[in-house]
Chains A and B, each alone.
Chain A
Amino acid sequence: RKEVEQDPGPFNVPEGATVAFNCTYSNSASQSFFWYRQDCRKEPKLLMSVYSSGNEDGRFTAQLNRASQYISLLIRDSKLSDSATYLCVVIPLRDYKLSFGAGTTVTVRA
């Protein structure tokens, strides 16, 4: 079983729609969680950290469910510029090794 699993998508949504997707992790000792965004042929860049209480950054909302071992990302009012691959990242306690999901591709169409 992979340490971090994501639905690869693609999620094809119209502009203005809401899109949400999850990422499951297998290591219950995981401590830190992040969502990264990767544009085509570019390097991954941090989108947002995921906190236990859930957090928002503009149109993006991240949630953590420790009991079921998943994190989620919700994008409201999708823009064309939101088209990208979203990578889920998990870090175990006292470790610097990040575990990456394979990514969820989102395509926002006009």
Chain B
Amino acid sequence: DVKVTQSSRYLVKRTGEKVFLECVQDMDHENMFWYRQDPGLGLRLIYFSYDVKMKEKGDIPEGYSVSREKKERFSLILESASTNQTSMYLCASLGAGGTDTQYFGPGTRLTVL
């Protein structure tokens, strides 16, 4: 069975803290994505990676960075968390076919106080 896992389901952090969100997929997919989902705005792409050590900015990269040292793992980093980064964060992966299904992790609900 296809699996995308995220390190935490719920996370509470304070303003200014450094936050790491980890995502692991077991499908040997080349492409991995980080989205945030907010009410009324839908899913917005933060960053994506199409290969190890490769990354590209999505639509809303400000305040975030990413790391892809291994094919199966894609990390999202909030260097200095702010309250407007309170959101649901979803990781996804996609095979190289381009028309394949994008599989999502269960999501991390991050609250920044």
Residues of A near any B CB (own CB < 8 A): 4, 8, 32, 34, 41-46, 49, 87, 89, 91, 94-98, 100-103
**Extra pairs beyond A96-B31, A96-B48, A100-B35 (17, CB < 8 Å):** A32-B98, A43-B90, A43-B104, A43-B106, A44-B90, A44-B104, A46-B101, A87-B43, A89-B102, A96-B50, A96-B94, A96-B98, A98-B33, A98-B102, A100-B43, A102-B40, A103-B42
Chain B residues in the interface with A (C-beta under 8 A): 31, 33, 35, 40-45, 48, 50, 58, 90, 94, 98-99, 101-102, 104-107
Contact A102 B106 (CB under 8 A): no
Is A44's CB under 8 angstroms from B58's CB? no
Chain A residues whose C-beta falls within 8 Å of the C-beta of B48 in the assembled complex: 96-97
Q: Which of B42, B58, B94, B101 contacts A87 (CB 8 A)?
A: B42
How far does the Cβ of A3 sit from chain B's closest Cβ, in whole Å? 9
CB pair B42 A32 closer than 8 Å: no
A100–B37 Cα gap in the complex (Å)? 10
In the bound assembly, the distance between CA atoms of A32 and B100 in angstroms comes to: 10
A8 CB contacts on chain B under 8 angstroms:
40
Residues of B within 8 A of A103 (CB): 42
Closest 7 CB pairs of A and B: A102-B42, A43-B104, A100-B43, A46-B101, A100-B42, A96-B31, A32-B99
